Amino acid sequence: MAPMRLRHPKGVTTIQIDLDQAKVSDLQQEIFAITEIPPSLQELKAGYPPHGLTLIPELPIESLGLKQGEQLIVTQNAEAAHAHRPAASPQAGVGDSPAVPMTGLTASQVRDSVSPSPGPSGPDYVLTEGGYLVHRIVPDDNSCLFSSVALVFEQSINKASEIRKIVADEIRKDPETWSDAILGRSRDEYISHILKPSSWGGAIELTILAKHYSTEIASVDVETGRIDKFTPTSESDGGNRCILIYSGIHYDAATIAPILDAPEDFHQTVMPRMREGDDDPTLVAAKKLADKLRAKRAYTNTSTFDLRCQICQKGLKGEKEARAHASETGHIQFGEY
């Protein structure tokens, strides 16, 4: 364990962090316990002069390049915090309605009457250049990331297992980039893990898939409106992007329909990048779509949500306890309650 000083809005605190074994998410949870700043709103700086750190929860803390005795400056992302507040609804009474409870892994599938839809139970959408950006919901079956990517690039969520193999093959053939240290476990163990239908995917998988498909994958966080961009290498970059919608525990896709009742086969799943900044028309539309879902409470704060192990029925609080339980027992099936 290594001591680390946190300078935060409430003062200065020294914490102990395992620089060899901990993940970025473990550090974020420690900061949350001290500052009450949710992980999704945390901004960290280190070094002198202080420089911003890129926080990818799934990666080992080693990826931050921190040293023993390092001082971290913790602030709250003001723009994201503003976006975190539920949007006011023009409909009378809607803004005062209680939060919709999330069950299982269905946070992204909550539906109510806050926004218009193509039909009584149709998906949410927003107007954009060339048509309508439509929320394309995939099953909550632990393969949602892979199903969403399969929908975008292979036009079939049934090819999720093939997407897993793409990730496994890339890790297998590139031991330098995807070392044990970066993966947080042995490469063979990680490959075996990610090939299982019950295993979730995250930043590592999206990084690999962006390179494989030569396309930027933009993941829009419903809770904060933050856009995380996973980019291909400069040599393979085709100048395109696709959109994923992330609710905290679930990934869906978003595609462009020329008209609202167009068959799904007519949807555009990959779009050219018009601008590099977040003012790109597709990204603007994606953030508006996230606004609609946020207004419905269609997201989950993973640091505080209640989980139950579906194998032994033990109650857990947040992803940190879930990860520890999985490590101790090998149980990897969880449901929110």
Distance of alpha carbon 223 from alpha carbon 102, whole angstroms: 14
- Residue 305: the pLDDT is 64
The SS3 call for residue 330 is coil
What CA dihedral angle connects 104, 107, 113 and 116, to 10 degrees? -140
Positions in the chain short of pLDDT 70? 48-49, 78-121, 300-305, 318-320, 323, 327, 330-337
First-to-last CA distance in the chain?
34
Question: Is the peptide bond preceding residue 49 cis, with omega within 30 degrees of 0?
Answer: yes
DSSP state of 246: E
All structural domains of the chain: 2-82 (3.10.20.90), 106-295 (3.90.70.80), 305-336 (no CATH)
- Residue 76: the pLDDT is 82
| Pair 167, 195: CB distance under 8 Å | no
- Residue 336: the pLDDT is 55
Distances (CA, A) of 219 to 33, 207, 237, 296: 26, 11, 17, 19
Q: What tokens does 28 get?
A: 């974020």
The SS3 call for residue 210 is helix
Distances (CA, A) of 43 to 27, 54, 74, 98, 228: 12, 9, 6, 30, 14
Condensed to tens digits (0 to 9), the pLDDT of residues 52-99 reads 888 888 788 888 888 777 788 888 875 544 443 433 332 222 222 222
| Pair 51, 45: CB distance under 8 Å | yes
CB proximity list for 261: less than 8 A, separation 6 or greater: 118
DSSP state letters, 39-73:
GGGEEEEETTTTEE----TTSBGGGGT--TT-EEE
- Residue 167: the pLDDT is 97
- Residue 98: the pLDDT is 27
Give the residue numbers marked as catalytic. 141, 144, 250, 331
- Residue 291: the pLDDT is 93
| Pair 57, 184: CB distance under 8 Å | no
- Residue 80: the pLDDT is 47
Distance of alpha carbon 323 from alpha carbon 58, whole angstroms: 11
- Residue 321: the pLDDT is 75
- Residue 64: the pLDDT is 84
pTM of the entire structure? 0.60
- Residue 299: the pLDDT is 72
- Residue 101: the pLDDT is 27
What CA dihedral angle connects 297, 303, 308 and 309, to 10 degrees? 130
